[in-house]
A and B are shown apart, each in its own frame.
Chain A
């Protein structure tokens, strides 16, 4: 028979005191929050958990996509035919330019070589389907169905048929997260088509874009088209980004408040094209040179380092 000196069985097992547990978990959460925000060294943790969560999330999205599919199916022939006609019409109207595009590109290349200007990079990429909008209400991001398996890396720009949509900010094994250009403080280096002036456009988080730090007397008009300037070594030159919709010039401020609307269907669902990363720009020339000059492709122009890859 056992002696009486052993410990009593744990009748009322309660674990550590609640306050101790609370302190422990709160400290861990806050540490994780700060580390993820400032150091960004927790991507491995995020990707591991994402591997678990992603399949579940895709399953949860199926009812929605099924409803979508059913609606499209029921909308039926008539709509398809009309769409088909429109597309054929559009194809015909763009045909004169498109047919000569190849010849024009060849000619352009030849001329550029004559001028000893660096050749324009060709845009290549892969089409990705937008799976769903990230649920986070504090930012504007979408998840697409191509990930590291398809060779996507963080920083690649995404466009649709009209213009720039956003930029890949996180890559998971089978999916990637695209931060839209309308996300708060997401920056895109742009150029005003009409005047050739360069600037940077920022997302406002409200679906609009703002052209910041433009002097009050800057040559900007409502209706101006902003295209990527290509100075950031991320976006190729010439993709439409935004159209200026309103300008407020007040004498009290040294900068004009210029708002633009995105040209691409940024908040739409559908497919996007993820462009391959650009070839690195030539190294910056010595500081004495490299001032002035328009157009992003001229050698000797200093490549600006912008924080376009900034997340959140």
Chain B
């Protein structure tokens, strides 16, 4: 795949272990004590969204479900809360991926924002419906920050797939 469909840059194929590594790293980032600060994004949702857009045949709803279960237990929230939101996120992201990748990165970020916001809102609605207390509007700053991080994240996560710009004429690939 290419960084976007409009650019001519060809990427190397993705290595599966790198996907798994990035998802585990996102889990670790979520477990950090910084998660209590307002505006810290849900890293798992962000990375999951990224791979669902880029590699929807490798990272799909099964992964979303398992990651959601891990997050539920780690959070001490009701089981199924993150599962539901992440599964919907993975589905929507892979559904939109054919359209999303045509846009430049900043416009992609704009389209990812509602996805992440809806993920967060689904969780809030699920918990409010069963009697949780409202966590405050700071809860919805995270997705905004996450969508701002879309451009740097794309750069970092595609780094292993980039080829050198100057090609060796003896080795065309």
Contacts and interface: CB of A to CB of B under 8 A. Distances in A.
Given A36-B79, A37-B78, A184 B68 contact: no
A206 B133 CA distance: 8
Given A49-B73, A132-B33, A32 B133 contact: no
Interface string A54-83: 001101110110000000000000000000
B156 interface: no
A136 B31 contact: no
B61 interface: yes
Interface string B62-82: 101100111001111111110
A33 interface: yes
A33 B80 contact: yes
Nearest to B88: A26
A143 B65 CA distance: 24
Interface in A124-152: 132-139, 141, 143
Interface stretch (B5-13, B15-23, B124-132, B146-154): B124-132
- Interface of B: prevailing SS: helix
Contacts of A134: 75-77
Contact of B33 (A61, A184, A205): A61
A250 to B, nearest CB: 24
**Size category, B interface:** 35 or more
B131 A33 contact: no
B73 A46 contact: yes
A137 B135 contact: yes
Given A18-B95, A135-B75, A25 B133 contact: no
Given A21-B60, A33-B81, A63-B32, A312 B87 contact: no
Interface of B: 27-28, 30-33, 35-36, 57, 60-62, 64-65, 68-70, 73-81, 83-84, 87-88, 91, 94-95, 124, 126-128, 130-136, 139
Q: Which 5 A-B pairs have the closest CB atoms?
A: A205-B133, A33-B80, A138-B132, A134-B76, A60-B31
